[in-house]
């Protein structure tokens, strides 16, 4: 079977670990040259090295994608490596804050919106011109079940993911006529550093998310590659008529509640 991203240039933000790390590896195995953009430079480098050791192509770029100066530097570096051509951008970087709403601060609000939402704005704005020049490109954003299901102790997180949903839809409409697609993957609980910390912190605040609760809600915990494979589908030409969509990767969690 032909590889699905053969000869593509792909960018994965938050591409060092977790589901982003899985996407970096899977996109590269599907034929893409992958820019692993992450604030964690050492993990990004080891992921890129692992990909190269497997005979595929990748390089690491250190950047906090919530910061415009760092995104601008990263974009220059990535576009130089890619000769100005970008086929797909996966905006996966993000984080979670688990707290009683009244204990949250203005600084935490700004941080959550910057890491989860402004990052998508900055990265997409940086790479859309290259896609427009080619008349083709796909963008995938990581949203969450928390964009539509209010989850306890996560008001700021849920709000930020609601914004990811609408960012996805509005970008899709704005650029549809010029050959771009923009979709979101919306996972349930994933076995990643982020997901395991979130479950630990929710349990500490008395929210019922024991292993049995996760099993009742979504059958079992989701593995990182299961999110990455959904992102691969949306990024690839297999999803050529899928645009502005939010694909839930939650084993029927939402439809079962
Ligand atoms: N894990 C879950 O249960 C779950 C569920 C739904 C959605 N998500 C979403 O997945 C993403 C988290 O990824 P994960 O679960 O694969 O966990 P993860 O923590 O392993 O991966 C997140 C990656 O993003 C990087 N990152 C974080 N902030 C960054 C920044 N400002 N700039 C650049 N890189 C940054 C981290 O260094 C890390 O490599 C978030 O967008 C989160 O909302 C996770």
End-to-end CA distance of the chain: 38
| Dihedral angle, C-alpha 31, 37, 41, 43, nearest 10 ° | -50
Task: Give average pLDDT by consecutive 10-residue segment, the chain, 257 residues.
Answer: 94 98 98 98 98 98 98 98 98 98 98 98 98 98 97 97 98 98 98 95 94 95 98 98 98 92
What atom in ligand 1 is closest to the CA of residue 43? 39
CA torsion sign, 170 to 176 to 178 to 180?
positive
Among candidate residues 82, 157, 167, 248, the one labeled active-site is 157
Residue 212, class by beta-carbon neighbours within 10 Å (0-12 exposed, 13-18 middle, 19+ buried)? Answer: exposed
| pLDDT attached to residue 1 | 72
| pLDDT attached to residue 257 | 75
Determine the Cα–Cα distance for residues 56 and 50; give it in Å rounded to an integer. Answer: 9
Measured from the CB, is residue 18 less than 6 Å from ligand 1?
Answer: yes
Tell me if 139 sits within 8 A of 180, measured CB to CB: yes
Distance from Cα 1 to the centre of ligand 1, integer Å: 31
Burial of 215-250, coded b for 16+ CB within 10 Å and e otherwise, reads: eebbeebbebbbbbbbbbbbbbeebeeebbbbbbbb
To test the pocket of ligand 1, the residue of 16, 17, 18 to mutate (highest count of ligand atoms within 8 Å of its CB) is 18
Domain layout of the chain by residue ranges? 9-249
To test the pocket of ligand 1, the residue of 120, 195, 203, 247 to mutate (highest count of ligand atoms within 8 Å of its CB) is 195
Write the DSSP string, 91-138.
E---------GGG--HHHHHHHHIIIIIHHHHHHHHHHHHHHHHT-EE
Q: Assess whether 157 carries a catalytic annotation.
A: yes
User: What's the CATH number of domain 9-249, 3.40.50.880, 3.40.50.300, 3.40.1000.10, 3.40.50.720?
Assistant: 3.40.50.720
């Amino acid at each position: 079977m032909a590889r699905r991203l053969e000869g593509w240039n792909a960018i994965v933000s938050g591409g060092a670990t977790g589901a982003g790390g899985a996407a970096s590896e899977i996109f590269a195995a599907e034929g893409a040259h992958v820019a692993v953009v992450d604030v964690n430079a050492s993990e990004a480098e080891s992921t890129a090295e692992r990909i190269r050791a497997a005979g595929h192509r990748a390089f690491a770029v250190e950047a906090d994608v919530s910061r415009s100066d760092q995104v601008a530097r990263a974009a220059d570096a990535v576009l130089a490596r890619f000769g100005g051509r970008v086929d797909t951008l996966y905006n996966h970087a993000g984080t979670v804050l688990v707290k009683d709403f009244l204990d949250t601060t203005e600084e935490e609000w700004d941080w959550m919106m910057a890491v989860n939402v402004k990052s998508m704005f900055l990265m997409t704005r940086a790479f859309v011109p290259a896609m427009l020049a080619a008349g083709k490109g796909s963008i995938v954003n990581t949203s969450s079940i928390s964009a539509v299901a209010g989850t306890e102790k996560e008001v700021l997180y849920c709000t930020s993911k609601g914004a990811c949903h609408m960012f996805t839809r509005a970008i899709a409409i704005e650029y549809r006529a010029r050959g771009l697609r923009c979709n979101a993957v919306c996972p349930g609980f994933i076995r990643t550093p982020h997901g395991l910390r979130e479950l630990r912190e929710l349990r500490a605040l008395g929210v019922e998310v024991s292993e049995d609760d996760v099993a009742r809600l979504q059958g079992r915990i989701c593995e990182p590659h299961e999110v990455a494979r959904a992102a691969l589908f949306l990024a690839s030409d297999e999803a050529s008529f899928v645009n502005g969509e939010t694909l839930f990767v939650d084993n029927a969690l939402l439809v079962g509640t």
